Structure 1
Amino acid sequence: MSMLPDSQQRYGPIIRGVAQTRAKLEIRQNGFPIYSTYVSAGPYEINDLTLASGSGELEIILTEANGQVRRFTQPYATLTHLLREGVWRYSASVGRYNAPFYATDDSMLWQGTLAMGTRWDSTVYGGLMGNDFYQATTVGLGKGLGVLGALSFDLTRSYAQTNPDNSQHNVQGMSYAVKYGKSFETRTNLRFAGYRYSTEGYRDFNEAVRERSADQRFRGSRRSMLEASVFQDIGLYSSLNLIFSQESYWQQDDAQRQFQFSFSSRFNTVNYSLYASQSLNDDEFNERQFGLNISVPLNFGRSTTATYDVRQNRGQLNHRASVSGRAKNSLLNYRASVTHNETGQQSAELSLGYQAPFASLGAGLTQGTDFNTLSLNASGALLLHADGLETGPYLGETSGLIHVPNIANVGQLNDSSARTNDRGYALIPYLRPFRINRVILDTAQLDPNVEIDNGVTQVVPRRGAVVKASFPARKVERILVSTRDHHGVALPFGAQISNADGLVLGIVGQAGQALLSTDEGQQIIYVRWGTTSAEQCQAQFDTHSMPLEQGYRVQDLVCR
């Protein structure tokens, strides 16, 4: 699919929330971790998830510095299943199910999906999935409705053997889903609205595994699920976001509901946002949060920002003030904050991160009233190739290798932290597959004695490839000479200077001065400004005997 234009690429959900301290964030899909990072105190946003499927549920686990663990789920799905006419999307896989700790089965599992864009703005799609105790079949149709938006409908039939000791204990059922999406002229984006109803005998694969394994956390099969997400732009700088979801189960009377509300805006250079979230069921409120966040840019450092936020969590107010910013060309980032709540508990946090040429390094220290936490993290990449082993802070799925032969400390504009090593190699962490990627060297900071013919090239990698971008380069002596004839008169403007091999080295400028690039050692140069013998001369010099001023060799030459 990545061979198609960007507009046809698949959708990925955005995870938003609020951390009370420097916390570890882990995102799981079907019980398995797919993303892990540290987030600073305050609102966070994860927008770079890569998921294997187009819909499902994500479990977000936030572990605070004081050991408090908060969990919540976020359903996600594409707006529609629509593909352009003539586009096919298909997948097939087979393997052994890597069962979670509660599962008793690790049998083989196979699945396949197929979607085809047809005429009349429609897409037909379907899929098969199964193993020795579970089979499911899905068929569906998506339709673009023009000004009314887009709508899709699908039905899934499942068959599951839920008791491993009784082959006669089987359940089967149907699940029906309708999804709708539309952007309105009022700049309102109904990102996703969907409803799914399942009969009592229907099981998805995860439910079948949990029931078959007698998992104590198995709540029963899902009866219905409602999801909606609305985004609204207000004016030039404001936006409003609402997310709501509700789930009910056949074996339980109560329903689980979650909603999130956020409003962000800007006044001059001050950014502020309001947010609220609540998860509840029919019996009681599980968790409720309200908050206000204000950020003010400061006039010192690089991208330095002061932030104050106040948050109410389970009826308790928490206050936080922090300062964050970047330094050393954004390679170093820092954050310091203090917090206080109504119970008198206080804490302070300091975190640093540095992106070195060989690794990404980080450290965080949190000191609270009754706890303290120290966290250290380091990550990097190793690339083995024909000429050796290279190191870097990170590598994406598709990446590159720069080679500027034997020229060290050459930077690249694609990644400010990457610089060539002593052998002239540097990693390009991220490249876009099946796209033209311009690789640009930072030639503005080259040593005067380095000469690169062309500091820009283009590569078009396949997905998962590591491509090499070579830049012919050499070390030369930069010589600034003031040329005179034997009478002491400056040589004519525009005279051509060449070496013994006839290679043009430079042109005489004003006052007889010329800037030459040549090899080190003893040299003979030839100067010509006409065709007669009186309009040419030669001079000799040795670069080793020339004084060095600001990276250039400087000397007065008499041309005879």
Structure 2
Amino acid sequence: MPCPNDTCTPVSPVTRLPPRMLIAALFVCGTSAANANDARTPAAKEALASFNPSLLKSRGIDSRVADYFSHTPRFAAGTRRISLQVNGNPRGTLDARFDSDGQLCFDKALLEQAGLKLPEAGLPNAGCDDFLARYPQTQSTLRPARQEVELVVPAAALRAPDDDSGLYHRGGVGGLVNYDLLGQASEFSGDRRRYYSSSTELGFNADDWIVRSRQSYTVQNGTRNFQNLYTYVQRTFVEHKVLAQAGEINTANSVFPGASITGLQVFPEQALYGKSKQGATVTGIAQGQARVEVRQAGALIYTTLVPPGPFSLTDIPLLNSNTDLDVQVIETNGERRRFNVPAASLVQFNSSAPGYSFAAGKLRTFNAKGMLAPMMATGSGSWRVSPANLLSAGVMLADNDYSAVAWSLGSQLTADTSLNLRNTLSHAGQQQLKGHEVSAALSTQFTERFAGNVNATRRSTGYRELLDTTYTQTSRYRHDRRVDQYGLGLSWSNPLLGGFGLGYSTSLSAGSHKSERLTASWNKNFEHFSVSTNVEHSLGHQAQSAKDRRDNRNYRDYRDDTAVYLSVSVPLGGSRSLRSYANKRDGITRLGASFNDNSNEFASYSVSAERNQQGKRDDLSANANLLPRYTSVSLGYSQSGNDSTSYNGQLRGGVALHGDGVTFSPYPLNDTFAVAKVGDVPGVRLDTPSGPVWTDGTGRAVVAQVPAYQRTNVEVRTTSLPRNLDIQNGYKTVMAGRGSVQALDFPVVTSRRVLLTIAALDGAPLGKGLPVFGAANRFVTTTVEGGKAFITNHDIEAPLTMHMANGGACRLDFSLPDKPDLEVYFEKAQARCTPL
């Protein structure tokens, strides 16, 4: 059918179009003909929109359906599930309300999810805001066919979370228990060894106050050791952007960070100024399945199991950023390798923020023998001297006649280059020593594929940190003070040659102990496989007495040591891969292969076989990582030859205690967390910042890690819901203040979906395009081929009528079982069209 006056493109054949598209086509033709060359306003033109009644009747379309769609594309009245976009950014899905004219209701839920400002006078939960009057530049685009709403709003309408502390959700009460349990049993050459460790964290949150206590307990061959790493209370005062702590804490001073004290401190809340890094990274190569222990200032701060080959441990929780890390790699046969990670190369996890810091208390020694614990106080200030430069300065005093002053400068030289400088002057009165320390760290991205970093620390002979002045003459730690430290890191990638990495660090202690460590890596992805090579070379020189050599007979610490690891990995599809490798250390070559399967979200496993070329020995190992929804489990087994066997197991997770009971989490809980509820439905998956979680028998799950003062999205995986349930809004955006315990509610409604096959009283099937109306002539749907119509929820129980193209009407009569069939997505039923 040609359009009148050739004012639109004809659509053919119109009889094959779905009813809504047919109406739209007829609408375009009709309105184009009526409004060609019309200069009136869009509103005036819209009022003239009309259809050709005879043409609609010839196509079997009721005129009332045309009246409903006569203005613009719009949603049917009521609550509709839509996808929301704001200024081009997706904001998830929610149940939006539309009035009888199909206009969007800007209610409180929509404004919050869209990140738009609420009216100053407030808004009732069930009320609609006149948002378009407040911000007339807003453009609202409704796409009913795609169930989408797109909003383009002026910048003034968007909430600014960094500038409005009132937007952050506060309050809530909840307790927590975090646990990391590790057990290892080894038997080799008739010798049995047992190792158990328990790292626990207890605490609670109440009205934004945080109380935490972390403990470490180890048992090794009957020797027990317990350490209390910290117990403290803290609170963030958002109005002043500062955080206060009291108890066993680590100072967060901008120029004197890391001293462990029992006291109190106040310092700027970094999260209110921007993101900061929260831990250190340690890399190395394990000969076989091994246990890695990381110590700082004599305290065991991290332990875990690693598989054979290169390893990289990230986000290690540091006690401070200016004390070296002592890393031990303990193989299943008892052999230990030890290396040092210089403090100069550690991540500065307490990045400075503008403001003032103060701390005072008694130094903690973690029960180390031969150490004193003086009282100390420190204060500092940080100033943003320019947008790219932050200057800090401070002073430290202690009652053992120790004093120090320091300054630091952090500069963003270019968009890809940063420089950090630090200088400290110290005076140790009891030792009658004065000295200085100078350190610098530079990192840059030379090109898109080439990056590098360098760091250096130089200390004069008389320089002392506060910790150095606490060792007595009998202390065995007195020679561990590092004088010079240097580090270098380079990375380069090329599409043809692959990626290269190089790292070098060296340090010299006051006891003439020099250690050097060189690491190098190369990796390349080919079409059907990938290759990687890792090299680790350590050099160390230290005079040892005969007794020292006997005591350290199992250690390979600070001695020349070279390891090379080459692997080839072949993906097998479905998150499965096969890897073969060659490992050489100390002239011993090992060849092996392993199979890895990560295709299941609840379980992954690997099995490997290895051949010791020199020892003519075969080694076997198997590992499994399980995520049984409410905890994390790791299991391992290894056998070396016929005389060495090792078993290990690790259990990690957290427990949230709240007003409605106890909820388990497969991840440890952070200082800010939330408890989500999805009706009373168990087994529903939610995607959270820490990973997927599942609801328990009460419909609750823990969002273990909610970043403070940042937007955090939590979304229900709707495919995990039972088929008879619909969720009103499966997407939540949380703006949590530090220490808050949020309760996230995802209401669900029981849905029933029915596909009706409508026939006349004589059983003859009806045609397509016939409109179905509910109460008050509310449009519900139209029939498709064979007289089929899809209805849901309240439409099933409400009286339904259908209007014919000839003007007649009938009542739809059908019956359903009392209980829906949960094994199908929708039910089927026969309906009779009874004339009214």
Q: TM-score, normalised by structure 2?
A: 0.58
Match of 1:4 in 2: 273
Match of 2:597 in 1: 325
% identical equivalent positions: 18
Contact 1:496 1:508 (C-alpha < 8 Å) held by counterparts:
yes
Encode CA deviations 1:139-184: one digit per residue, 9 max, x unaligned: 22426494796655443233447xxxxxxx4433222213141426
Contact 1:411 1:420 (C-alpha < 8 Å) held by counterparts:
yes
Of residues 544, 549, 564 in structure 2, which corresponds to 1:291? Answer: 564
Of residues 464, 479, 486 in structure 2, which corresponds to 1:203? Answer: 464
- Matched residues in 2 for 1:128 and 1:191: separation? 29
Matching of residues 151-162 of structure 1 within 5 Å: 152-160=420-428
Contact 1:29 1:58 (C-alpha < 8 Å) held by counterparts:
yes
Residue 203 of structure 1 aligns to a residue in which SS?
A: coil
Shift of 1:334: 1.1
Match of 1:165 in 2: none
Of residues 11, 15, 29 in structure 1, which corresponds to 2:282? Answer: 15
Within the alignment, does 1:238 sit opposite 2:496 as a pair? no
Matching of residues 27-426 of structure 1 within 5 Å: 27-77=294-344, 88=354, 90-96=356-362, 97-106=364-373, 108-119=375-386, 121-133=388-400, 135-142=402-409, 144=411, 146=413, 152-160=420-428, 169-183=430-444, 185=446, 188-200=450-462, 202-209=463-470, 211-212=471-472, 214-219=474-479, 221-222=481-482, 224-236=483-495, 237-249=498-510, 252-253=511-512, 255-268=514-527, 269-281=529-541, 286-312=559-585, 314-329=586-601, 331-341=602-612, 342-369=614-641, 370-397=643-670, 398-414=672-688, 417-426=692-701
Distance change >3 Å, CA 320–CA 519, structure 1 → 2: same
Contact 1:263 1:275 (C-alpha < 8 Å) held by counterparts:
no
Distance change >3 Å, CA 292–CA 10, structure 1 → 2: closer
Residue 454 of structure 1 aligns to a residue in which SS?
A: coil
Residue 434 of structure 1 aligns to a residue in which SS?
A: coil
Distance change >3 Å, CA 100–CA 554, structure 1 → 2: same
- Segments of 5+ residues of structure 2 without an aligned counterpart are 1-269, 545-557
Within the alignment, does 1:557 sit opposite 2:826 as a pair? no
Distance change >3 Å, CA 407–CA 503, structure 1 → 2: farther
- Matched residues in 1 for 2:371 and 2:465: separation? 17
Match of 1:166 in 2: none
Residue 380 of structure 1 aligns to a residue in which SS?
A: strand
- Matched residues in 2 for 1:306 and 1:551: separation? 43
Contact 2:330 2:337 (C-alpha < 8 Å) held by counterparts:
yes
Please state which structure has a larger fraction of its residues in strand.
1
Distance change >3 Å, CA 315–CA 396, structure 1 → 2: same
Contact 1:461 1:467 (C-alpha < 8 Å) held by counterparts:
yes
> Which structure would you say has the larger RCO, counting Cα contacts within 8 Å and 6 or more residues apart?
2
In the comparison of the two structures, how many residue pairs are matched? 540
Encode CA deviations 1:518-542: one digit per residue, 9 max, x unaligned: 379x946322437999414142524
Encode CA deviations 1:25-52: one digit per residue, 9 max, x unaligned: 2222212222222211111111223435
- Matched residues in 2 for 1:426 and 1:234: separation? 42
Of residues 498, 511, 526 in structure 1, which corresponds to 2:786? Answer: 511
Distance change >3 Å, CA 519–CA 490, structure 1 → 2: same
Shift of 1:253: 4.3
Read off the aligned partner of 2:354 and give its amino acid letter.
W
- Matched residues in 2 for 1:32 and 1:40: separation? 24
Of residues 741, 753, 760 in structure 2, which corresponds to 1:485? Answer: 760
Runs of 4 or more consecutive aligned structure 1 residues displaced over 6 Å after TM superposition: 78-81, 282-285, 501-505, 530-533, 545-549
CA RMSD of aligned residues (A): 3.5
Read off the aligned partner of 2:272 and give its amino acid letter.
M
Distance change >3 Å, CA 533–CA 323, structure 1 → 2: same
- Matched residues in 2 for 1:534 and 1:115: separation? 81
Contact 1:104 1:213 (C-alpha < 8 Å) held by counterparts:
no
Contact 1:399 1:428 (C-alpha < 8 Å) held by counterparts:
yes
Residue 2 of structure 1 aligns to a residue in which SS?
A: helix
Residue 482 of structure 1 aligns to a residue in which SS?
A: strand
- Matched residues in 2 for 1:413 and 1:204: separation? 46
Distance change >3 Å, CA 71–CA 290, structure 1 → 2: closer
Shift of 1:11: 7.1
Distance change >3 Å, CA 407–CA 505, structure 1 → 2: farther
| Greater Rg by CA | 2
Read off the aligned partner of 1:4 and give its amino acid letter.
Y
Match of 1:495 in 2: 771
Contact 2:371 2:475 (C-alpha < 8 Å) held by counterparts:
no
Contact 1:486 1:559 (C-alpha < 8 Å) held by counterparts:
yes
Please state which structure has a larger fraction of its residues in helix.
2
Distance change >3 Å, CA 507–CA 450, structure 1 → 2: farther
Residue 458 of structure 2 aligns to a residue in which SS?
A: strand
Distance change >3 Å, CA 391–CA 156, structure 1 → 2: same
